[in-house]
Structure 1
Amino acid sequence: MEGKAMSKRVKAKGLLKLKFYCELCSKQCRDENGFKCHTTSDSHLRQMQLFGENPDKFIEEYSQKFEDSFLGHLKQSHGFSRVAATVVYNEYISDPYHVHMNATKWLSLTEFVVYLGETGKCKVDKTHSCGGSGWFITYHNDKSKRFKSKLMEEHKHDKEIAKQINRATSVAVPIPMEIEIEKSVDCELPDKHKKIAFRFGLAPPRRKETNKMKGKEDSEEVKDTKNNRKAYWLCEGIVVKVISKVWEEKGLYNKKGVVKKVLDNYIGEIQMLDTDTHNDHIVRINQDQLQTVLPHISGLVRIVNGSYCGCNARLLDVDTFNFCAKVQLDKCIYQGRVLHKVAYEDICKLAV
C-alpha cells in the first residue's frame, strides 16, 4: 500500500471539520479545496435548487431526525438516569453519520434542551455550582405512563359500576309497612276496655335506592362519554391558537383567532385577533395545526368533544398536573352539573 493511500485511510477514520461537510448531499470533504469543488458540482446545485423551493420542509425533516436520533441515543445509553446534556451530545456526535445541529431549527444545544423540557419529552434542570453551571436532562416516557394509568382508572371505574348494577338487580326491594300506635294525651288509660287505634301506611323511600339509581346514571354517563368521542372538534364561535410553524412567515404562529365557519369537519375559517393585519383577515387552517384555548377562571367555555359535546360551561378550576379542568354546565338542560377532570383538548374558550 502506498503512503498516500494509507494517509487517506487514516484521515477517513476520525472526524473531519464540520465546515467541510454538506448536509444536503451527505458529503464530507477533507479540505477547503475539495469542499469548493463539491459546491460547484451539478449534483450539489440540483440539491440546492430543491432546497430553495421549500426550505422549511428540509429544516423540519432534519430537526425531526436529529431529535429522534438524540433521544434514541439518550434512552439506549443512559436509560432514565440524570445526565449532563453536553455529555450526551458529545457521545452523539462521535458517530460520523449523525445529523448535524447546524442543519436544524435550533441554533445551540441550550435551545434544543429547553425545547425538550417545554414539550415534556425530557425532564430538564439547570444547576449552578462553584465549578460552573450546566443543563441536565432525564429521559422519561410520560405518554406511556399516563396512558396506562388512564386505562387502569377506566377499568377500575367500569368494575365498580358493574358491581353496583349487579347489586341493584339481584336484591329484591320489599315494600315496608309501618305500624303506628295512636296514643292519648294522658299517659294512663282511664278505661281498661278502651280500644287502641292502629294506622297502616307506606314508609318513605330509602336512600339506598337513590344511590343505586345514581350509580346507573353514572354508568350511562361513562358509556356516553366513550361513545361520543370524535376525531374532529372544530366548531363555530370558539377561540383557537395556531401552533404550526408553517404559518410563521405570515405572522400567524402562536396567534389566536375565532372560528367563523367549519368546512368538512376538519378545516376552519379563522378570523385572526391579535395580528397586525385587519380584523376581517380570514384564513383556512386544518385542526391539526390548531390548539384549544382556556379562559380565565369563571370564564365561559364550550365542550367540543366527549360527553355533553356542544354544551356551554363555566371554568371553575384548572389542574395543571393532570392536564384537566373542572367545569360547571351552563345554559343547557344539565345546567348546574359539575364535571370533574375534563381534558384540556375537550373544552375551548368561547368568543365574546
Structure 2
Amino acid sequence: MPRLYVITFLATLLGILGGVFALNVAVDAYGVFWPADETPEVRAFEPNTRFRKIEYLSTRCHKFNAFIMGDSRSSSYLVQDVDKFFDVKSYNLSVSGESIVGVLKTLQGLARANCVPQLVVYPISTDGFGFNVADFALSHEQLLRIYHPLIDQSVTLLEKFSRYALNYSITLTSIQVLYDRLKGRPGFLIYDFATGNHQTLFARLDKIAPCPAVVTPATDRIRQWFNWLAQLQTFLGAHDIKLVLVMNPLPYPSMLSTGLAGTQILLHELSKYADGIYALSLTDPRLRQPNMFIDQVHFKPDMVRDMFQQKNFQSFDRLSKEFSEAFKACGIN
C-alpha cells in the first residue's frame, strides 16, 4: 500500500509538471520556443523581442545590410523609411529596455555568427533613459529581455526551458494568454517578424508643458555611456560598419530634462564620433504638439520620417546654441 501511494504521488507530480511544461511551450507567451515566421502577429503584450528577432535573423541575416538598434523608442524608425533614405535593406533590432551595453553585446554576438551589417542606425535620447548602461538581460527576473544563445552563450537549452517552461509566473501568464485567445481578444501589440517593426499602444499624451518640471543632471551617467560608445565605435571600426546617430524627438520638456551641463557634455562628446546628428530643431513646433507622441516617452513614426525627408542633419554647434537658448528661456542653469 505505501508503495502504491508513492507511485501515485510521483505519477501525479510528473503529470502536473508535464501539463505545465506542455502548456507553457504550446502557448509560448514570450515567443522563445517556436520559430519566427514572416506573418505579423497581434499579441496581448510584448514577447521577448531580443530573443525572437535574433532567432529570425539566425537564418535570414543575408537579407539585410543595415540594423536599427536601440530601445523601444527605436521601434518608431520604420524600415521602409530608413531603407528609402539610406538606400539599404534594414532590420529593426530595437528591443524594450535596450541599453548601449546590449547594443554592443548583440552586434558582437551576431558578428561571431558572421552576421555583420554595413550600417547601424542608432537613435539616442537626451533624457535619463537615453544614458542607460544597465544590462537587463543578465537579470533572471527579466524574462522579457533574456538574450538568445547566439548572443549570450551562457544561455543553455536547459536554462531556457527552466526559465520559460517550468516557471510559476510564466504559467499564470500562459493561462491568461490562453484565456484571451479563446475569447478572441486582439491584444495591443502588432509585431512584424519580417521587418522587426512593432507598434505598442500606450496612454495618450494630452498636454506638453513649456518647460521641464524637474531637471535631473546625468553628467556621471553620460560619461559612463560614452565609455561604452567608445567600445562600440572600436567594434564598428574593426568590422567596417558605418554608424549613423539620430536624436530622438521627445516631448519638449524631456529634451531638456538632463540639464544644461549634461546636454553640453553630450553634444561635445558626440562631436568626437560624428560630424553631426539627425535631429529636429528645438524650435520645431511638433515637439510641443501632443498628437505627435504616443505617450510621455514614445513618438510617432511620422516625426522620424519627416526628419529624414527634410534632411535634418544638424551640426553639434548649432544644436548646442539651440539648447543653450532653450535652457535660458526656461530659466535653467
- TM-score category, normalised to shorter length: under 0.3
Q: Which protein has the bigger helix share?
A: 2
Which structure has more RCO (C-alpha within 8 Å, separation ≥ 6)?
2
**TM-score normalised according to structure 2 size:** 0.22
Larger Rg: 1
Q: TM-score, normalised by structure 1?
A: 0.22
Q: Which has the higher strand share?
A: 1
